[in-house]
Amino acid sequence: MKAKVDADLCTGCGLCPDMCPEVFELTSDVAEVKVDEVPAEAEDTCREAAESCPVEAISIEE
């Protein structure tokens, strides 16, 4: 599974790195994905972060 952040939509609220620091980090006021493949143990929290994103900037590719 892969995660992507649309930098044009991201507002840098920090919710995704708070929820799933294994996958997301804040850089230059926007979130970025820091892994190529989401680790199996982080898949559920990664999905939760995507669903919780207030501007729907995170997409998940299975």
The two structure tokens encoding residue 54: 């207030």
- Per-residue pLDDT at 28: 87
Domains delineated in the chain: 2-61 (3.30.70.20)
pTM above 0.85, yes or no: yes
Alpha carbons 46 and 41: distance in angstroms, whole number: 10
Report which of 45, 35, 37 is spatially closest to residue 62, judged by C-alpha positions: 37
> Which residue's entry shows tokens 């230059």?
28
Report which of 24, 27, 26 is spatially closest to residue 48, judged by C-alpha positions: 24
- Per-residue pLDDT at 13: 97
12-52 pLDDT tens trace: 999 999 999 999 999 989 999 999 999 999 999 999 999 99
- Per-residue pLDDT at 18: 98
